[in-house]
């Protein structure tokens, strides 16, 4: 049920043809969902279905059931989640665990009951053990303890993978899971209290430049390493998986290389044009020391990213200036 399952049809079905399909992107207002909607625009789908929180509260089972019963999509991508950076995760453990469990359980169960043809569930690289062997292979899942700062989110996402696997195993549903690395790009969350490191550094560097500050504040020691994937590459990988993958195992979606937080801050400084120094605030947590995923499985299926880190940061910074800058 493991290696030989990928890139082949373990349910007796061929590649999934999106032509004429009605696809629901759950979570279309988030960075990932918005990129998926843009990317699906270049497929010959019949309809891209979206629903705002005012139409359906995904944490409420009755609302999800009745909305899905009415819209009946052929395929679903689950990009809806309560997400946040290291501080938000650590501060709101109950919200991160409860809301993510509810969202995925409601969607997966209702989709199964309706016989939805295909579903892609998205998680994140924080599902892996804190000290997993690097680069982290899919098989590392559940081989050790999680990083304490984001275990709430991680447990919910692991449950989502298992739910897809369980519905596949028990009922034969073609539900697959993809685990993206840290993402960034247009529609990112630039709120400093809840954002991830990359948008935070873009915003802080831009403010430091505007205010002519001496230093850019960076949390932690700057030594942890992180991998970053541009969200448009992620969206492309998701469509690739939707069409070409029908396996039990989840699939990593990474960039293939990582940088230290210090190197990241230096790249952001360069792109933004802030010439002051970096000041490390070691009262803030470092989190997991390294989180580079092995994306060998996806690469071997024939998909690779096309946006390098500096180009992606440049595009994300342009988007920030046009849409979100203070
Ligand atoms: P993580 O990947 O789950 O640990 O989440 P983050 O993206 O929030 O943090 C990644 C690393 O960047 C951690 O070591 C943070 O301490 C560090 N970091 C440095 N400056 C910042 C910042 O301004 N905001 C955030 N969120 N993280 C920062």
Q: Domain ranges in the chain?
A: 8-184+228-253, 197-226+258-291+309-318
- CA–CA dist 317, 268 (Å, integer): 9
- Helix 261-272 to helix 197-211 angle, to the nearest 10 degrees? 40
Closest CA to 164 of 177, 180, 179, 178: 177
Ligand 1: residue whose CA is nearest its atom 24: 197
- CA–CA dist 38, 199 (Å, integer): 21
Asked if residue 252 lies in contact with residue 138, where contact means CB atoms within 8 angstroms, the answer is: yes
Handedness of CA 176, 92, 235, 224 (dihedral sign): negative
- As a whole number, mean pLDDT of residues 290-313 equals 96
- As a whole number, mean pLDDT of residues 264-283 equals 98
Residue 197 CA, ligand 1 centroid: distance in Å: 4
- CA–CA dist 166, 170 (Å, integer): 6
| pLDDT value of position 10 | 58
Taking the whole predicted model, whether its pTM rises above 0.85 is answered as yes
Determine if residue 293 is labeled as part of a ligand binding site. Answer: no
Determine if residue 181 is labeled as part of a ligand binding site. Answer: yes
Instruction: Give percent of the chain with pLDDT exceeding 70.
Output: 96
The 10s digit of each residue's pLDDT in 57-85 is 999 999 999 999 999 999 999 999 999 87
Under the banding of pLDDT at 50, 70 and 90, the label for residue 12 is low
Q: Which residues contact 272 (CB under 8 A, 6 or more apart)?
A: 202, 205, 206, 209, 317
Mutate to test the pocket of ligand 1, among 180, 197, 218, 227 (most ligand atoms within 8 A of CB): 197
Which residue is catalytic, options 153, 167, 187, 320? 153
Residue 103 CA, ligand 1 centroid: distance in Å: 25
Mark whether 153 is an active-site residue. Answer: yes
Residue 284 CA, ligand 1 centroid: distance in Å: 9
Atom of ligand 1 nearest to the CA of 291: 2
Q: Is the peptide bond before 192 cis (omega within 30 degrees of 0)?
A: no
Determine which of 9-18, 151-160, 209-218 has the lowest per-residue pLDDT on average. 9-18
pLDDT of 7 above 60: no
Ligand 1: residue whose CA is nearest its atom 19: 219
**Torsions phi, psi for 227 (to 5 deg):** -105, 140
**Tokens found for residue 198:** 């990359």
Q: Thinking of the domain 197-226+258-291+309-318, which architecture would CATH place it in?
A: Alpha-Beta Complex (3.90)
- Whether domain 8-184+228-253 has CATH 3.40.80.10: the reply is no
Determine if residue 246 is labeled as part of a ligand binding site. Answer: no
| pLDDT value of position 193 | 86
Mean pLDDT of the chain: 94
Q: Which residues contact 91 (CB under 8 A, 6 or more apart)?
A: none
Q: Which residues contact 87 (CB under 8 A, 6 or more apart)?
A: 193, 194, 284, 285
- Residues with C-beta less than 6 Å from any ligand 1 atom: 85-86, 126, 150, 182, 195-197, 200, 218-220, 224, 226, 261, 284-287
Under the banding of pLDDT at 50, 70 and 90, the label for residue 219 is very high
| pLDDT value of position 1 | 40
Ligand 1: residue whose CA is nearest its atom 13: 286
The position carrying tokens 């500096």 is: 310
SS (H, E, C) 119-175: EEEECCHHHCCCCCCCCECHHHCCCCCCCHHHHHHHHHHHHHHHHHHHHHHHHCCCE
The position carrying tokens 């529609």 is: 187
- As a whole number, mean pLDDT of residues 275-286 equals 96
pLDDT of 301 above 50: yes
Ligand 1: residue whose CA is nearest its atom 22: 197
| pLDDT value of position 5 | 41
Residue 64 CA, ligand 1 centroid: distance in Å: 33
Asked if residue 157 lies in contact with residue 184, where contact means CB atoms within 8 angstroms, the answer is: no
């Amino acid at each position: 049920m493991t290696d030989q399952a990928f890139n082949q049809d373990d349910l007796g079905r061929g590649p999934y043809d999106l032509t004429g399909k009605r696809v629901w992107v759950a979570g279309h207002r988030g960075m990932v969902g918005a990129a998926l909607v843009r990317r699906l625009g270049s497929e010959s789908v019949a309809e891209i279905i979206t629903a705002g929180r005012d139409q359906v509260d995904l944490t409420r089972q009755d609302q999800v059931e009745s909305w899905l019963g009415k819209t009946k999509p052929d395929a679903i991508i689950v990009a809806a989640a309560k997400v946040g950076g290291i501080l938000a995760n650590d501060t709101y453990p109950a919200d991160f665990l409860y809301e993510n469990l509810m969202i995925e359980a409601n969607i997966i169960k209702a989709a199964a009951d309706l016989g939805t043809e295909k579903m892609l569930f998205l998680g994140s690289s924080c599902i892996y053990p804190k000290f997993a062997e690097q680069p982290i292979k899919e098989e590392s899942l559940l081989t050790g303890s999680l990083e304490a700062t984001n275990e709430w989110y991680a447990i919910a996402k692991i449950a989502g993978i298992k739910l897809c696997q369980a519905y596949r195993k028990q009922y034969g549903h073609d539900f697959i899971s993809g685990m993206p690395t840290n993402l960034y790009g247009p529609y990112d969350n630039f709120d400093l209290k809840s954002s991830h490191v990359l948008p935070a550094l873009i915003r802080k560097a831009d403010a430091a430049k505007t205010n002519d500050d001496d230093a850019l504040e960076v949390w932690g020691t700057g030594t942890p390493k992180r991998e970053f994937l541009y969200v448009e590459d992620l969206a492309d990988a998701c469509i690739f998986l939707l069409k070409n993958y029908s396996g039990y195992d989840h699939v990593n979606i990474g960039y293939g290389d990582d940088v230290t937080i210090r190197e990241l801050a230096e790249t952001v400084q360069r792109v933004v044009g802030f010439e002051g120094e970096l000041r490390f605030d070691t009262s803030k947590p470092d989190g997991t020391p390294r989180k580079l995923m092995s994306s060998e499985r996806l690469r071997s299926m024939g998909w690779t990213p096309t946006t390098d880190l500096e180009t992606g940061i440049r595009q994300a910074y342009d988007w920030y200036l046009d849409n979100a800058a203070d």
